[in-house]
Structure 1
Amino acid sequence: MYLVLKKITDGLTKILQFLLIVAMTLLVFDVVWGVLTRYVGGEQASWTEELARFLLIWVALLGGAVAFETKSHLGVDYFVGKFEQSVRRNLQLLSHVVVLFFAISIFILGGGRVVYDALVLNQTTPALGWKMGYIYLVIPVAGCFMVLFTINNLLETLRLGCDEETEKVD
């Protein structure tokens, strides 16, 4: 099961990384266009700042989800490294459970509620006229990726812990 989940998460990570590259490229072009229209045309295109803000939100949240899979997120490794292996493993398991709780309760449930409310209230963006619910959709989407990636990391921690115990017995 772990290997199947690992293949799925690896594939999703590659897709997300590609989408993040595209979003960052769009963000750069959008900001450059905004600067050009301000200095060449005398007035910035009204939609460029809004689009840049939304792209940055999507890049930050989806990039955070990718960071969970690639284990690139910030951690307090210095203090964890001071403990013996069994304690470190238990701290890793605890951190995975805390991340799962946070991702499910805040990102998926809370973010889903924000999306629902924004769509029901028919909130739209001022310059682009997009529905805000679609902008907020990144919150539960990133939460689903975080849950999937954290479950993968949790299984990996359990698997490695079992492998270490097996090696000690041999």
Structure 2
Amino acid sequence: MRAWCKTAGDRINAIVEAIVAALMLLLVLDVWLGVADRYYFHWQLPWPEELARYLMIWAAMLAVSCGISRREHIGLTLLVGAIPEGARRVILIAMDLVALALFLYVFWFGIGFAQSGATRQAMIFGTSLQPYYAAIPVSAGIAAIQILLTMIRDMGDYFEPSFEEEAE
């Protein structure tokens, strides 16, 4: 089961990382287009700034699951490393369960948030805000899946996490 969770988590992470990389490439190109427009061409394009905002939101939200998959998200390793090993496992599992609950909560209420975007329009594009608001539940759902897979994958490692190696 742990091996399957590792494989599934790695595959999901590879897909999400490719999407984040593509979004970041589009973001850089969009920002450069906005700079070139403002200072050189004077086309007065109205959409690069707004598009950059939505690309950044999607990229940042999706990147959360990448950090979870690699266990590179913010953690209090100094504090957890000072706790005796017996209690450490319980605390690490509890932290994962709290994070899982948070992402499930954001996913659940994010669905309603995304649906509320259907009746609103983007200022420049004139399109529904639903695809942009969908970044919240989609990212939270992927993060919840990743934290569950990562928690199962690392279940045996909770006994002896190597916090000393991380500090070096």
Instruction: State if a TM-score over 0.5 links the two structures.
Output: yes
Question: What amino acid sits opposite 2:25 in the alignment?
Answer: T
> What are the equivalent positions in structure 2 for 1:37-116 lying under 5 Å apart?
37-42=37-42, 44-106=44-106, 108-116=107-115
Instruction: Indicate how the Cα distance of structure 1 residues 41 and 80 shifts in structure 2: closer, same or farther if over 3 A, else same.
Output: same
Higher relative contact order (CA 8 A, sep 6+): 2
Cα separation, 2, equivalents of 1:96 and 1:76: 13
Instruction: Indicate how the Cα distance of structure 1 residues 72 and 22 shifts in structure 2: closer, same or farther if over 3 A, else same.
Output: same
Instruction: Deviation per CA, 1:98-138: give whole Å up to 9, x if none.
Output: 011100112x111101011222xx21111122311110111
Cα separation, 2, equivalents of 1:161 and 1:74: 17
Is 1:33 the counterpart of 2:33 in the alignment? yes
Structure 2 SS opposite 1:125: coil
- CA drift of 1:43 comes to 5.2
Structure 1 portions without partners, runs of 5+: 165-170
Instruction: Indicate how the Cα distance of structure 1 residues 123 and 145 shifts in structure 2: closer, same or farther if over 3 A, else same.
Output: same
RMSD: 1.8
Cα separation, 1, equivalents of 2:154 and 2:37: 51
Is 1:24 the counterpart of 2:33 in the alignment? no
Q: What's 1:153 paired with?
A: 150
Instruction: Indicate how the Cα distance of structure 1 residues 8 and 157 shifts in structure 2: closer, same or farther if over 3 A, else same.
Output: closer
Structure 2 portions without partners, runs of 5+: 162-168
Q: What's 1:141 paired with?
A: 138
Q: How many residues align?
A: 161
Indicate if the aligned counterparts of 1:65 and 1:146 stay in contact, CA closer than 8 A: yes
Instruction: Indicate how the Cα distance of structure 1 residues 130 and 161 shifts in structure 2: closer, same or farther if over 3 A, else same.
Output: same
- CA drift of 1:61 comes to 0.5
Structure 1 SS opposite 2:62: helix
- CA drift of 1:41 comes to 2.6
More displaced 10-residue stretch of structure 1: 94-103 or 147-156: 147-156
